[in-house]
Amino acid sequence: MLEIRPNCELCDKDLLPDATDACICTYECTFCRDCVDTILNNVCPNCGGGFVSRPIRPKKAYRENTSIQYQPASKQRINTPYSKDDVITFIQPIKQTPPEKR
């Protein structure tokens, strides 16, 4: 089950559980759409993978015990351990390769 992390790992912007601008990679690294598009060029600075929009957990339990009420979002803020310079250096040779070919 997704953690639904509360912030962008690069700019630390709050990303509420129903944020439509939250993006995740296959390891659930979480970044805002603005950072993904303008700084990261769709390259996760932690693993090199691409991003997709983070799903939104339903507010209402359409099935028993299956909603944000029963499986709340994480409150633990996470930030990438890499500096912006490290991120840019890491991304440069990868950004032209589509995620499915990395």
Domains of the chain, earliest start first: 1-87 (3.30.40)
- Output the pTM of the full model: 0.93
The 3 state secondary structure assigned to 32-73 is EHHHHHHCCCCCCCCCCCCCEECCCCCCCCCCCCCCCCCCCC
Q: Provide the pLDDT for residue 19.
A: 98
What local confidence, expressed as pLDDT, does residue 53 receive? 98
Structure tokens at 1: 């089950």
**Residue 95 has what pLDDT?**
96
User: Of all residues in the chain, what percent carry a pLDDT higher than 90?
Assistant: 100
pLDDT-based confidence at 52, cuts 50/70/90? very high
* pLDDT the model gives residue 69: 95
- What are 71-96's pLDDT values in tens digits? 999 999 999 999 999 999 999 999 99
